Each structure stands twice: as C-alpha cells, then as structure tokens.
C-alpha cells in the first residue's frame, strides 16, 4: 500500500507542476460497447441537453455491472461503478460550492443537510426518471426486472456516472452547466427538499426526547443475487422491534425501518 501511495503522490506532483492542461484518460479506458447507436446518441443528447463527443464514455456510464455477465464483445468492458465514484464527487463539489456562495447566512450543519437532500440516491433517481434516462441503461434480465419494479439505486448510480461522462467529455465548466440546467433544475422541489427525510435522525431525536435510548439496527434477512440484493432490517429499541424495512442496500433498509418505527411511535397512544 505504501508503494501505491508513493506512486500516486509522484504522479500528482508531476501533473501539478505541468503548465499544460493534461487529459488524464485515454481511449483504451473506455472501449466502445456498441449499444449506443447513432439514433440513441441523438436521443440521449436531446434528453440530457448536451453534445456527445465520445460516445464510449456514455456507454460505460450506462453499463450496469450485471450486463458484463451477458455482454458479447471482443474487448473487455467495464461497468459504471468507477464513473459513479467520480460523478458523485463532482456533483458533491459543485453543489457544495453553490450552497456556500448562495447561502452565506446558513450554518455548516444546515448546508450539509441541504446538500445531502440534493445529492442523495432518491433525488438522483428522481432526476434520472424525469430526464428519461432509464431506457438507456443496459442490465441483465434479472436486474432488468428489478429496474422495472422501481429499483432506484440502479438509475441513481447511472445518473452519477453520466455526470462523470459529461465531465470527462467536456471539462468542469461544461459539467457545471449540465448539473445546474439538467440535474438541479429537476430535483430542486422546495417542498420535497425541505421535508427532512432522514428518518434515522428523526427517530433518534424522538426516542431520546422520551427516554427510550438509542435505536439499533439488525439485518434479519438478505436475499437475491449480488447485483440485486434485498436487505431486511429491524429497528430495535430497548430490546424490542419497532419497525421493519427493506432496501437494495443496508442504508436504505435502515431508513425504511426507522421510518416505520418513527411513525409508529409518533402515533402510539399514551399508555
């Protein structure tokens, strides 16, 4: 690990000392898959309101990991997971910058809450569906069923990966414009944003206010293949289950369990 870090440090310092703007990726990182035909590229440009210079970037951004099992290509292709990582960081940075300048009277804690409401999976999935991104995502048959049944994680991850594709294709300023005009404009619904949807936080505040202690969360069931996991989690208080939630990851399942427990305790008749 030390050698990897040292090598990374040397490369970063070399780039920082260069006077020229260096493109950090090459064509080999994004081999063409072939599912984005000319017609589909045109349709994608239309819904995203962008121009596409390198379609291979967008093909990788729209490739769910389950598709790798069935893809019939001579070249090795990659899923959108690495691009999702990059897109998440870019989106977080740009949203944080706008919030910092536009809300100078808001505290750090409130800025953090607002940013989390803007860039969470639910908001990104909502944006992707409003844009019409879902039909462009390639998945396996089983993941496709999950997508049709409303799996928000797959479309949210693709949205983040598309942000990375726009950045790699055009640079940061173009990407900022895309995020403001095509992403934030679709998710900045004031009523939806101002409603605190962090039920784990709400449940903790409620239980501590009535002396019930701190909730704990326990995974009681895990089912489905690796690319389509469903977790069932219970929210416990004082050794008793007060809510059960399901989700495609532990975080969302915990939120759903907390939401059920929160509503139950809120409407519980006084004993």
Catalytic residue among 59, 157, 160, 254: 160
74 an active-site residue?
no
Distance (Å, rounded) from C-alpha 163 to C-alpha 105? 29
Return the exposure string of 226-245: e unless at least 16 CB atoms fall within 10 Å of the residue's CB, then b: ebbbbbbbbbbbeeeebbbb
Known active-site residue 160: yes
DSSP 255: H
Question: Which among 84, 88, 234, 254 is annotated as catalytic?
Answer: 88
Burial group, residue 177, by CB count within 10 angstroms (0-12, 13-18, 19+): middle
| Distance in angstroms (rounded) separating the CA atoms of residues 246 and 22 | 45
The burial class, CB within 10 Å (0-12 / 13-18 / 19+), for 130 is middle
Spacing of C-alpha 198 from chain mean position: 16
Q: Which residues are catalytic?
A: 88, 160
């Amino acid at each position: 690990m030390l050698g990897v870090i040292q090598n990374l440090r040397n490369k970063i310092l070399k780039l920082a000392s260069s006077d020229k703007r260096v493109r950090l990726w090459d064509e080999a990182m994004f081999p063409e898959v072939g599912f984005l035909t000319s017609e589909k590229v045109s349709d994608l440009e239309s819904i995203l309101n962008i121009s596409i210079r390198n379609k291979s970037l967008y093909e990788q951004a729209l490739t769910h990991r389950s598709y790798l099992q069935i893809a019939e290509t001579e070249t090795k292709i990659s899923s959108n997971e690495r691009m999702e990582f990059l897109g998440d960081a870019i989106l977080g940075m740009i949203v944080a910058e706008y919030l910092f300048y536009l809300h100078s009277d808001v505290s750090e804690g409130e800025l953090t809450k607002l940013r989390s409401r803007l860039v969470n999976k639910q908001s990104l999935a909502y944006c992707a569906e409003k844009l019409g991104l879902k039909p462009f995502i390639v998945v396996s048959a089983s993941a496709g069923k999950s997508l049709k049944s409303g799996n928000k994680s797959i479309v949210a991850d693709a949205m983040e990966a598309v942000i990375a594709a726009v950045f790699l294709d055009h640079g940061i300023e173009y990407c900022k414009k895309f995020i403001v005009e095509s992403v934030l404009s679709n998710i900045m619904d004031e009523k939806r944003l101002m409603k605190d949807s962090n039920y784990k936080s709400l449940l903790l505040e409620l239980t501590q206010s009535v002396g019930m202690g701190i909730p704990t969360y326990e995974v009681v069931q895990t089912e489905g293949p690796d690319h389509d996991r469903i977790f069932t989690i219970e929210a416990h208080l004082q050794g008793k289950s007060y809510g059960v939630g399901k989700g495609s990851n532990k975080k969302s399942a915990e939120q759903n369990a907390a939401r059920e427990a929160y509503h139950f305790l809120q409407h519980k008749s006084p004993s």
